[in-house]
Structure 1
């Protein structure tokens, strides 16, 4: 329910309205709570894929802390670009930026088993991809025709499907534990299940702040459970805390520069998906918070901010940023459209990003506990893709496009060995599954003719027939 004590209905719909500070700060922190776990999780996943040791005594410990720290810092900076703006960069709307899950299927193969050595090519790709992304701001309105819900829904679904395996591995004990006796133990799974059950309980049986921050609170309960069962010790927490600095600044080109065709092509292609996602989020913010359509200037400014924020992040060892959809729903729920509220949240993120001890505490979360949260989050990515696909007119043409793109994309992802004779660059791009699926869907959607209306109702395999847009088969009506 909208809290009218914050301001009049007209003020609440105004992005330039500033609520009283004692109201704005808690509302801003609420935005951070809604996205905090999703924002730092990609850094932990990439570190795990690279083979970083997660113990406080590991030589990789400082690098893991740095990646977490940069995720927070540059999410805050990118959010400021959206709310405060810098020339044409920024939408001047309450858009919250954070580390994008969409790029994980590209980043994981780039760093797999390479340790720190794989990060130079990755972050060079982030920089180039960010610059390319910002250029999309000049044409984003003209290329949207090539990315209908059939394409974007497929891509988002593929992102989630590519990542659900990670959630299961984490819940079972993490990638390093595969093949060991403790992998998949009842204790490991119990920690993940505690997180899932608490998250579901808070999400559906509470309201307000408790419901909004359900995943974060679920992880906190899981963290306490890990302490109670001996999966985590106070000595490990104190060791991480003591090794982390109280304050640290980002380091430009910390991991060097390495131009990789796979990284550059992959990040540039995924920028299209991220840009379209941002367009949808901007439209959601203006509709949910102000009851109007987004202007071309707001959409272009948001896309510029996406790209500039990503490129700037790459210089300092942070991952691609994009608008966060969960915060769009939060704006619709609170009814507070003020961009200055989100600015308060961005400042809080920046402060956290400059204090490595915050990252040290996050690092101590057991991988099994994180797995419970990741299962929920990645499952929601798949659900979001399915929701987007509900807007598709499921005639024979669209079903064939979806079937071929999904079969090839998911098949290559499940059986990467089928491409062992391909050049390294092509193999990395294709085995993600995401890019071939997106490319096939885009090309077929542009080339294949639309079917006649009568053909849309022909029976297809399994007895399914094309129905109305996004609908289930109708019952016979007398």
Structure 2
């Protein structure tokens, strides 16, 4: 979901050395290579708290808390996956970040609570509870995921990822036109959004290496500086924030557990862990380590435990970032301690509230241009996966795609269609990803019996 790439695309051509995964490069090389991993994933790592924070109407300081908590979770969970503890952690070079698959259900939870007159803090407490439940659920299903994975063939995962991307594109457009405002569009803000979009496309076209990998980060950074120079944004909150600080656990209050919200996040957890299976196989092939059931279970347990950590630290479900897996194949550096160093850098960034507030102060119209690229790439990932599905020879796959895509679009085109349902079910039915997942899994089970 985070700019996913196929396992085949990231497998290094050179014969991998299984021992390289445990090598510890020189400190200077560790820092440089670890920083490169952070640069590759940074824009995606902070995108989810920015999306959720803007949707909830949080202040810059509150969004800063979410960003700091998110970065802290990224670092902590990456250490859990790369260094590991007994029975938990793949102990391979993997960077962990918040999954984009969680945005849809979390926004549905937030919107249903706001519609019910609840505060933003209440929504965050419900989200926290749902994330904790999803993490516990992930730990429970880790040993048996091989049996669950068969219910998520490419026609299912591709459809769901496509729905996620299409659903999120509306958020990017909302950033450009200004969500929550009158129907008028600020021409200057729209122009800045498309300036950022054009800049990102230029970097993707002409940039190379690390510059190209940091296209989103460069576009947002330049757009923000230009907007600040034109007086289009306010960074006053940055000066009021501390240089060093720590976001304590459950800073927005104790978690609230609601059935619909928890179920929707459990669906996200299943999808995340099924995707992790593919990513783990890709990494194991790159580093030359044979994947077995015990190793896979350890990696999936890290997904589950990492999500519990995310819930406790005001963050979200975590998954492996595939763009970093691609970076490993490109650089040929297979040491897990490089990613562990990147994790330490993320922890350091998390301890700077001033930096977090600066990121949170990025105007939404600047993010809008980047959002069109990021969210569109998610949809493109779904299309790429579906490109490998037999849609012409197996008409059932066409039916699965058509019906599930339509179900996933229902909450987008008619927000009030489920308004009469009980409140506990609102987050469940207002999430396109949940509706699409239920539809795709059920139809695949009913129609593709011969392939089960």
User: Partners of 1:311 and 1:80 in 2: how far apart?
Assistant: 15
SS in 1 for 2:90: coil
Distance between the aligned counterparts of 2:19 and 2:36, measured in 1?
18
- Which has the larger displacement, 121-130 or 203-212? 203-212
Q: Secondary structure at the match of 1:443?
A: helix
| Aligned counterpart in structure 2 of residue 35 of structure 1, from 30, 38, 41 | 41
Question: How far apart in 2 are the matches of 1:92 and 1:168?
Answer: 40
C-alpha separation in 2, matches of 1:378 and 1:410: 15
The aligned residue for residue 230 of structure 1 is 231
Aligned length: 429
In the TM superposition, what whole-angstrom CA distance separates every residue of 1:159-178 from its partner, at most 9, and x where no partner exists?
111110000111223x13x3
Kindly report the root-mean-square deviation, in angstroms, between the aligned alpha carbons of the 2 structures: 1.9
Match of 2:440 in 1: 441
* CA separation of 1:106 and 1:10: change in aligned 2, threshold 3 A: closer
The answer as to whether partners of 1:50 and 1:111 remain within 8 angstroms in 2 is yes
- 1:201 positional shift: 1.7
Question: Matches of 1:449 and 1:135 in 2, distance apart?
Answer: 28
| Higher radius of gyration, 1 or 2 | 1
User: Which region of structure 1 is more displaced relative to structure 2, 192-201 or 371-380?
Assistant: 192-201
Q: Distance in 2 between matches of 1:13 and 1:126?
A: 36
| Partner in structure 2 of residue 193 of structure 1 | 194
TM-score (norm 2): 0.90
Q: 1:415 Cα deviation (Å)?
A: 0.9
Instruction: Supply the distance in 1 between the matched residues of 2:195 and 2:275 (Cα, whole angstroms).
Output: 32
Q: Secondary structure at the match of 1:416?
A: coil
What's 2:4 paired with? Answer: none
Q: Tell me how far 1:384 sits from its aligned partner.
A: 0.8
**2: distance between equivalents of 1:355 and 1:217?**
21
**2:413 alignment partner in structure 1:** 414
Who is 2:57 aligned against?
A: 51
Choose from 132, 135, 152 the match for 2:137.
Answer: 132
Q: Distance in 2 between matches of 1:278 and 1:302?
A: 8
Per-residue displacement from partner, 1:216-261 (whole Å, max 9, x unpaired)?
01111111221232212xxx32x22222122222323322121111
**Separation in 2, partners of 1:270, 1:162:** 15
User: What does residue 339 of structure 1 align with?
Assistant: 336
Q: Distance in 2 between matches of 1:185 and 1:294?
A: 53
Instruction: Choose the corresponding residue for 2:353, options 343, 351, 356.
Output: 356
Change (3 A) 1:19 1:448: same
State the alpha-carbon separation in 2 of the partners of residues 293 and 432 from structure 1: 38
Structure with larger RCO (C-alpha < 8 A, sep 6+):
2
Question: Quick one: distance in 1 between partners of 2:75 and 2:146?
Answer: 27
Query: Is the counterpart of residue 147 in structure 1 residue 133 in structure 2?
Result: no
The alpha carbon displacement at 1:9 in A equals: 7.2
Contact 1:32/1:345 (CA < 8 Å) preserved in 2? yes
Establish whether residue 303 from structure 1 lines up as the match of residue 311 from structure 2.
Answer: no
Matches within 5 A, 1:169-318: 169-173=174-178, 175-176=179-180, 178-179=181-182, 181=184, 184-232=185-233, 236-237=234-235, 239-254=236-251, 255-287=253-285, 289-290=286-287, 294-318=291-315
TM-superposed CA distance for 1:451, in Å, is 7.5
* 1:333-386 Cα shifts (integer Å, max 9, x gaps): 111111100011100000111111110110221111111111111111001111
Shift in Å, 1:15:
1.1
- Residues 61 and 357 of structure 2 are in contact (CA less than 8 Å); yes or no, is this contact kept in structure 1? no
Q: What does the per-residue CA deviation read over 1:293-344, in whole Å, with 9 as the maximum and x for residues that have no partner?
A: 6333332222111110110121121111111111111112111111100011
CA distance in 1, matches of 2:90, 2:379: 28
- Judge conservation of contact 2:68–2:353 (CA < 8 Å) in 1: yes
- Give 1:81's aligned residue: 80
**Does the CA-based 8 Å contact 1:405-1:437 persist in structure 2?**
yes
1:397, 1:450 within 8 Å by CA — same for their partners in 2? no
Residue number among 30, 36, 51 corresponding to 1:24 in the alignment: 30
Given the superposition, is the C-alpha separation of residues 322 and 451 from structure 1 closer, same or farther in structure 2, using an over 3 Å criterion?
Answer: closer
Map Cα deviations across residues 35-76 of structure 1 (whole Å, 9 max, x no partner): 111111111211222222xxxxxxx44322111110100011
| Structure 2 alignment gaps of length 5 or more | 1-13
Q: How far apart are residue 408 of structure 1 and its match?
A: 1.9
C-alpha separation in 2, matches of 1:365 and 1:101: 19
Distance 1:357 1:11, change over 3 A: farther
For normalisation by structure 1, the TM-score amounts to 0.86
CA contact (8 A) 1:125 1:259 kept: yes
Alpha-carbon distance in 2 for matches of 1:204, 1:65: 32
Which of 116, 122, 125 is matched with 1:120 structurally? 125
| Alpha-carbon distance in structure 1 between the residues aligned to 2:403 and 2:81 | 38
Distance 1:73 1:286 in 2: 26
User: 1:137: Cα distance to partner?
Assistant: 1.4
Alignment pair present for 1:157 and 2:162: yes
Work out the CA distance in 2 between the residues paired with 1:186 and 1:257. Answer: 41
Distance in 2 (CA, whole Å) between partners of 1:278 and 1:41 is: 20
